[in-house]
A and B are shown apart, each in its own frame.
Chain A
Amino acid sequence: GENVEQHPSTLSVQEGDSAVIKCTYSDSASNYFPWYKQELGKRPQLIIDIRSNVGEKKDQRIAVTLNKTAKHFSLHITETQPEDSAVYFCAASKRNTGGFKTIFGAGTRLFVKA
């Protein structure tokens, strides 16, 4: 069935270093790939997304890359700051019979040490 695998499950970096989170998806019909950040006790919020007709997208310190052939996409955070500490979820979405179905990865807990 449809599946999104996310690695690593936990990531600890020093402030100022880069962090990379990787996801793979199984359904080649997926065409929309959002990333969400969830701070402790709060709701998930979109930080960046990419569509299947684009290979890379950047927004300040955050970038996402997509390799459709390998069914692989990654989140890159540069110059990490303590406030980047949170759980990050990748997701893959596609058109289903009537609407759009989104499958999430299991999440990556990022710790940024000051």
Chain B
Amino acid sequence: DVKVTQSSRYLVKRTGEKVFLECVQDMDHENMFWYRQDPGLGLRLIYFSYDVKMKEKGDIPEGYSVSREKKERFSLILESASTNQTSMYLCASSFIWRDSNQPQHFGDGTRLSIL
């Protein structure tokens, strides 16, 4: 069974801090994703990665960056945290088979509060 693990379930940080959210998957998936989930807005894609050191912007990348130094690990970085980044953050991974996208497997989420 695929396991996607996010480092923290709950996190409280202060405005202006640099924040790291970590995600690890154990199934050798090529694709990894970071979403934020807000009531009434669904899951909005921040960044995704399709290989080590490869990344693409999603729909709301402003204020965020990512790092993928190893295939199993995808980190989301809030360069200078602001209160409007208070949200639930979900990491997901998926594999590619015969050049087709496959279902995403999600982590449990990190509820981040910026004070």
Contact = CB atoms under 8 A, between A and B. Distances in A.
Interface string B94-105: 101001110110
Contacts, number: 69
Nearest to B106: A43
DSSP class of A's interface residues: helix, strand, loop or mixed?
strand
A42 B33 CA distance: 18
Interface string A76-95: 00000000000001010101
DSSP class of B's interface residues: helix, strand, loop or mixed?
strand
A104 B43 contact: yes
A98 B101 contact: no
A54 to B, nearest CB: 13
Interface centre among A2, A9, A99 (most CB of B within 10 A): A99
A69 to B, nearest CB: 22
A102 B50 contact: no
Contacts of A1: 59
B33 A102 contact: yes
Interface of A: 1-2, 6, 9, 32, 34, 42-46, 49, 51, 89, 91, 93, 95-107
